[in-house]
Amino acid sequence: MSGAPRDAREHVVVAAYAAHARPLTALAARVLGDADAARDVCQEAFVRLHARLDEVQGDPGPWLRAVAWRLAFDALRRRRREGAALGRRGEDPAPVDALDLDPEDLARVRDALDALSPRQRDVVLLRVVEGERFPALARALGISEGAAKVHLRRALDRLRDLLGRQAPAPAAHPERRP
């Protein structure tokens, strides 16, 4: 898209917005539990798309989801730091209706996701939560499909370890492979 006229660039961003704004906002709302903050994350993702449109190959959806996840988790970490600084540790600012978890379990899951490397967290969220296929996921993150699979396996092992130590083991069932 390099050197594309302004109208063409804006057309691409407007089309991407029409196709992806709602799912991106919902994704950020699941992470943040705050509709206003989710809309801010969505807006920032599209601002970044416009600024980096030349770097995005093909469908911008996977790229936008990866950016939105990072922005949402950055906002969540920032909120936690600010809350800790004010002595409000452990508060969950708003319920997350999209997930059927009590606030304590949700906090444990968020903490476990925060313990992953940024790359592992992105792969888990894009593959497991968003259901992104490996080719698009790898393209969005700028890695090979094989690397994406390795990051996912390591992340799931780490999450199993982190969450397994904090909660009773779930009923035995065959492991589901992504």
Length of the chain: 178
| C-alpha angle 58-64-69 in degrees, rounded to nearest 5 | 145
Indicate if the alpha-carbon torsion angle 10, 15, 18, 19 is positive or negative. Answer: negative
The answer as to whether 178 is a domain residue is no
Do the Cβ atoms of 111 and 41 come closer than 8 Å?
Answer: no
Indicate the number of domains in the chain: 1
pLDDT score for 92: 44
Tens digit of pLDDT at every position of the chain (178 positions): 445 567 788 899 999 999 999 999 988 888 888 889 999 999 999 999 999 998 888 889 989 988 998 898 888 777 766 665 555 444 444 444 444 566 777 778 888 888 888 888 888 888 887 777 888 778 777 789 999 999 999 998 998 888 885 444 443 434 444 4
Give the domain CATH number at 52: 1.10.10.10
The answer as to whether 122 is a domain residue is yes
Give the list of residues 6+ apart from residue 15 with CB closer than 8 angstroms, or none. Answer: none
Domain of residue 25: give its range: 6-166
Model confidence, pTM: 0.53
CA end-to-end span of the chain, whole Å? 33
Beta strands in the chain (DSSP E): none
The answer as to whether 171 is a domain residue is no
The answer as to whether 107 is a domain residue is yes
